[in-house]
Copies of this chain bind each other. A is one copy, B any other.
Amino acid sequence: MPATLGELADRFGCDIQGDPSVVVECVGTLSGASINAISFLANPFYSSQLKDTQAGAVIIEEHYKEVCQTPALITDNPYALYARVAQFLHPLEVVNPSIHPTANIAIDSKISGSVAVGANAVIGSEAKIGESAIIGEGCFVGPNVTIGSYTRLAPNVVLMPGVVIGERCIIHSGVVCGSDGFGFAREDKLWIKVPQVGGVRVGDDVEIGANSTIDRGTIENTVIEDGVKLDNLVHIGHNVIIGAHTVMSALCGVAGSTIIGKRCMFGGAVVVVDHLTICDDSMFTFHCTVLQSVSKPGTYSGALSADSSKRWRRNAARFKKLDSFIKPFRKDP
* Number of this chain's copies in the complex: 3
Inter-chain CA distance A194–B78, complex, in Å, is: 12
Complex interface: chain B residues within 8 A of A28 (CB): 219
Report the stretch among A65-73, A109-117, A126-134, A182-190 that lies at the interface: A182-190
Within 8 A of B (CB), among A75-114: 77, 79-80, 82-84, 86-87, 90, 100, 102, 104
Given contacts A184-B229, A286-B289, contact A191 B247 (CB under 8 A): yes
A329 — nearest CB in chain B belongs to which residue?
B325
The answer to whether residues A211 and B174 also contact, given A158-B155, A189-B263, A235-B251 and a CB cut-off of 8 A, is yes
**A278 — which chain B residues lie within 8 A by C-beta?**
none
CA distance A211 to B267 in the complex (A): 21
Q: Which residue of B lies closest to A93 (CB)?
A: B161
Q: How far is the CB of A15 from chain B (nearest CB, A)?
A: 17
Q: Are the CB atoms of B173 and A179 closer together than 8 Å?
A: yes
Cβ of A189: which chain B residues have Cβ within 8 Å of it?
Answer: 245, 263
In the assembled complex, A215 has its CB within 8 A of some CB on chain B: yes
Contacts of A315 in B (CB 8 A): 319-323
List 7 extra interface pairs beyond A83-B193, A122-B137, A176-B210, CB under 8 A: A80-B186, A83-B185, A87-B193, A170-B193, A182-B229, A255-B268, A268-B273
In the complex with contacts A29-B220, A263-B189, A315-B319, A82-B184 CB distance below 8 A: no
| A26 sits at the interface (CB 8 A) | yes
List 30 interface pairs A-B (beta carbons < 8 Å), by A numbering. Answer: A26-B197, A27-B195, A79-B185, A79-B194, A83-B183, A83-B192, A86-B194, A102-B102, A120-B122, A140-B155, A140-B156, A154-B158, A172-B179, A173-B179, A174-B211, A179-B232, A182-B229, A182-B250, A191-B247, A210-B213, A211-B233, A213-B232, A233-B235, A237-B250, A249-B255, A251-B251, A271-B286, A273-B286, A289-B303, A304-B316
A-B interface, 10 closest residue pairs, ranked by CB to CB distance from nearest: A314-B323, A176-B210, A140-B155, A179-B210, A80-B187, A80-B185, A83-B185, A158-B173, A213-B232, A79-B185
Interface residues, chain A, with chain B CB atoms under 8 Å away: 26-29, 32, 45, 77, 79-80, 82-84, 86-87, 90, 100, 102, 104, 118-120, 122, 136-138, 140, 142, 154-156, 158, 160, 170, 172-174, 176, 179-180, 182-187, 189-195, 197, 207, 209-211, 213, 215, 219-220, 227, 229, 231-233, 235, 237, 245, 247, 249-251, 253, 255, 263, 267-269, 271, 273, 275, 286-287, 289, 291, 303-305, 307, 311, 314-323, 325-326, 329-330
Secondary structure call for the A interface = loop
> How far apart are the CA atoms of A192 and B12 in the complex, in Å?
14
- Chain B's closest residue to A161 (CB) is B93
Are B194 and A83 in touch, CB under 8 angstroms? yes
- A182 to B231: give the CA distance in the assembly, Å: 6
